[in-house]
Structure 1
Amino acid sequence: MTRKIRLGAFLPGGGQHVASWRHPDQPVDGATSFAFHRQLAETAERGLFDAYFLADNLAIGFGGAREGGNARIAGFEPVTLFSALAPLTTNIGFIATASTTYEEPYNTARKFASLDLLSGGRAGWNVVTTTGDPTAQNFNRDTQLPHAARYRRAAEHVDVVKKLWDSFEDDAFIRDKESGVFYDQEKLHESEHRGEHFQVRGPLNVPRSPQGHPVIVQAGQSEDGRGLAAATAEVIFTAHQHIETAQEFYRDIKARARGLGRSPDHILVMPGVAPFVGRTEAEAREKYNRLTALIVEEDGIGLLNGLTGGTLDLRGYDVDGPLPPAPPTEGMKSRQALIRQIADENNFSIRQLYQWIATARGHFTIVGTPETIVDTLQEWFENEAADGFNILPPWLPTGLEDFVELIVPELQRRGLFRTAYEGRTLRENLGLPYPVNLWAGARATAQAAE
């Protein structure tokens, strides 16, 4: 089968750009409008996207820093929202974020297994470690966990969740009314996990779905993040400004996976891209300029405070002066480094920096025609920088509609993207293998050795 670009759609109802809620096309109540989220899901499915992706915050703001009038200040819990959207769609997957830092593995396993069943095998779990002291203060702590400690907990958390998802073997449920046998007790397994962070007996009280278990997604770029992703992730969201850094990340992740005995083809690397698309370059640039002009300075500063790790308060600095050094963070180390890189490479002032990152928070922003944008996507896809892309429309619904109506046909014309969904589950559409049940696999291995 010819390799195809995979596409995720990052669609916060309140908009992606820090000022998107002020755009005439963007509903001001989009973050808490179910009807609007349904419209977005239906549009993304019409565009044959693999998945609808949502990040999540457990405190107001980004990275612990409040973003003044941003419409993303409050919204739905993603799994709850996706459970409502699943029966209204047919093919599109739903990738929801849940924290390994503040959730227990049993709760995580149960809610994602439930979403996977409700959707007929279209669920994905975006594994995150949660940063910020304001978030910690919502969960019985004064300060955030250190970076390394968060990732040790995350690795064990994912391990426990996967064990729980394998509690029932695929054919455990017999449901024979005549004999009275509902399930095969020998095909129900306890996890019996005892580790540094968790003690979980199991089994999980939700059976496996048509795709085996939800797709595991991760987005870390630090050394610890790369290690976790290579060991556990099936899809990796990542942020890069240049093809060279994207290639370094792509090759490193694939090499690490290979070293851990995993097939590199079973890990899809999908950089984030925020496109401003116009039928002409001038139209695309006008769209960018119009949205940039709507940024409230306080919101731009608040966004930067979070993205630079929460260790630097830029209020009081000259916004037309340079970005000052930020103390090391125990928050998002890779994002702090990326923001510093963007400022230094472009010699941006604080104002210019928040204007640039306001669209996609450090992800790659492209302004151009369908042809020039697809030229870039194709270059990254064909040169070991990406297996697909997580698309971040700057404002909604227009930014998503522009992509579906202008970019998708150009991708299809070049043979880079599907013209119909390949299957009904998220795994099938992403081209990922069905996960063999832990217990059934061990039994098959033992029988083969006899």
Structure 2
Amino acid sequence: MQLAWKLLWTKGTPFYLPTIILNGLEDGRASLPPLAPRPVKDLGPIALFNKDPWGTVSISLSEATVAGLDTIHDQGFEFDSKTGAFNAKIGFDSLVLAGKYSVDGSGLAGCAVAAATVLLGLLPPRSSAAAADGSELDDEHIALARNYQAQLAQSPTGQQLVGAYYDNNDAMNEIVRGDTFFRHAFPTVVTDGKTSRDFADQTTVAAKSPNDPARSVGDPTYRLHAFKMQLAFARSAAKLWENTGDSKYLEVGKAKDEFYHQATHGPAQGTTTVGNVMEAIRNADPGAARALATQSHLALDPIYEAAEREIDEAHARWTAANVTRPYSELARAVASDLGQGTFSDAFGVPSLSLSGTIEIGGSGPNVTLTLTRLTTDIPEIDIALSTSLPDTLYDQVVQSLADAQFIKDLLRRSVENALGTKSTLDYLSTAVNAAIAKVLAP
């Protein structure tokens, strides 16, 4: 393995990995085309600001790719011959994220947490768009959420939960800001005289003193209301799936179940402190939530059963009198095209981790590497826009993008996902295996 890995980084040979990525490989043992720039998921529309004469201005990013993969460089590898575990470190000198942008005069998706905060009346925004993009850090609920997000990201299970939030933000916004039962229920449903605003305040107080047993979450009334809101969200997602056929509403439902089970089982079950919840997540198996989410034990919980009865009755009444529609459908009718152009940013990625397994077997020398995961920490991305908009509008859009940490976080997550796709890992596995076959050839 040592010789094969060295071959991948030896200039002037057909197996030099940067050359394979750039030009492909035809060796007789393996055939690889050049590795095309990695496609990035479309983002938006995302609300930026609200100002006359344009109204609420939104931006969409589309047809984006990550190029520059041939700037890959080696940082070594480790191989455990007993378990077959393989771990390597690589980096990229200069990746380029580039695509197209369009700006219109309608307000669409933004930060789901901020949108929910506006629903509760907790946030008196300077503009509806400012609240939507999550830039209103003077709201303590959002500021605390971001603080705990940073803490969650320090453990594998927490990273899974934070990643699920960003991966499903689009669907969440369609539900939270659309014409849905959840949008109706979230600010209005009452549990023991309290609304979601009251429970949000309780959570904020507990989060400010995470280890104070007098400031707790998860008591029976809290759990009952939480179940109601989870069910309202789930019913709205299912209805949108039924109406649109878009699988993102199925995925956000699964992510909601995984998040709930990860955060509410084990040491943090029942009345507890926020500190205990965070500790339980830090120590949890990242796969445990997926396993728990497939079980039906909640049906045996009397609190859950009570919530389900109330919400299903309310949902039936609401859907009989209303049509469930995603927010993008509502906004499409008032959208006005303000301009299009291209965007880009170049950045280095000092270190990425590649992990997988090596199998040895078969007749004669037979060593096969299968890469299964790429993990990295993408630096902050600051995209530059081509000047395809009127000067005043262009300046406002550029400044709003520079201030919107939420959009930068979405871009970072999108690049991470693009680099870590199965097709990318399979390509790199094939290149490594070609070098292994070359070294083992008689």
Structure number with the higher helix fraction is 2
TM-score after normalising by structure 1: 0.26
Structure number with the higher strand fraction is 2
